[in-house]
Amino acid sequence: MRCLYPTPLRQNARVLRRFSAFLFLVTVLFALPRLARADSAQTALALAQSDPAKLVQQVCANEIQNFSGTRQPLRYRLRKVTAKGDTTKQIVETHEGGVARLIAIHSEPLSAVQQQIEEVRLQKVRTDPAVEAHRRQMEQRDAARIIKLTRALPQAFIYRYAGTVASPHGPLIRLTLEPNAHWTPPDFESRILTGIRGEMLVDGQSLRVARVEGHVYRDVDFGWKVLGVLYPGGDILFEQAPTQCCGWQLSHLRLRLDGKALMLKPIRIDVEEFATDYSPTPAGWGYREAADWLLGPQWQS
């Protein structure tokens, strides 16, 4: 006679089968992102070997999208080293523009007098829209310049696959770059690209730039050397890294350029920046809320 109720053994077997199916499902779900990233990296590697310019085009499109005003505003710490000094600022981006507070000079906290000066300046920023409007215009101008040069990169250089490079975040695709003789710069600013050789490191999983390093190897003429000229020997370094909360972000920038303007005035650019401690700016913050936060007690030494 058939038993109408499962025995404990049958019950245990059924539970084990269900549990095994559950474990299999969990394993697949957790493995899918890794498999997708691995597949993306293999696709990028194959493209780098067959058509590196097309890979650079995709990467630059991602960089422009990240740099556009549609991304989430961020808070971060920026250290800037120039011939004039070494300063560290806390930056707060908002959809109305960025606000900054000086928090250290030569890696030392501000004095009481310097703290007071910063607080007075931030109070003015908070209450006088004209101050922030001027800063926002400068930010928009700089952003437009960066986007323009980034958009020119796929056509401005000849790229060649040069293997892979190990990094803490996984292997990076290495591409060498040299000026494309058939490319015509659309404006004076873009002419700097015609005198640079170097390399680009690309993260194949995210299609983001990890590092660009360029060296000025010849004179770059701006208007028959009347408007200016850039001398050989300078270098440009741009590095990004993935953050825990905010995706790939700038970590290191270095500019060392020499030249002259209007035939006589020497030009010397020597600046290095380090960005750390990224976090999202709270939703809805404008420059007044950013200034209020920067005026908080957490910045008092």
Confidence of residue 20 (pLDDT cuts 50, 70, 90): low
Between 253 and 21, residue with greater pLDDT: 253
pLDDT of res. 280: 95
pLDDT over threshold 60, residue 195: yes
pLDDT at 95: 86
Kindly report the pTM of this predicted structure.
Answer: 0.81
Ranking 150-159, 161-170, 172-181, 222-231 by mean pLDDT, the lowest is 222-231
The pLDDT value recorded for residue 290 is 94
What pLDDT, in 10s, does the model give residues 40-81? 778 889 999 999 999 999 999 999 888 775 678 999 999 999
Q: Is the confidence at residue 282, as pLDDT, over 80?
A: yes
Report the percent of the chain where pLDDT is more than 90: 54
Query: What pLDDT sits at residue 5?
Result: 42
Q: State the pLDDT at residue 130.
A: 76
Say what the pLDDT of residue 227 is: 63
Q: What is the pLDDT of residues 83-137, one digit of tens each?
A: 899 999 999 999 888 899 999 999 999 999 999 999 999 998 888 867 777 777 8
Q: What is the pLDDT of residue 12?
A: 53
> What digits encode the pLDDT tens for the residues 240-267?
999 988 889 999 999 999 988 766 778 8
DSSP string, the chain: ---SS--HHHHHHHHHHHHHHHHHHHHHHHHHHHHHHHHHHHHHHHHHHH-HHHHHHHHHHHHHHHHSTTSPPEEEEEEEEETTEEEEEEEE--TT--EEEEEEETTEEPPHHHHHHHHHHHHHHHH-HHHHHHHHHHHHHHHHHHHHHHHHHHHHEEEEEEEEE--TTS-EEEEEEEE-TT---SSTGGGGGGGEEEEEEEETTTTEEEEEEEEE-S-EEETTTTSEEE-TT-EEEEEEEEETTTEEEEEEEEEEEEEEETTTEEEEEEEEEEEEEEEEPPTT--HHHHHHHHTSGGG--
Q: What is the mean pLDDT of the chain?
A: 84
pLDDT at 22 over 60: no
Whether pLDDT at 285 is above 90: yes
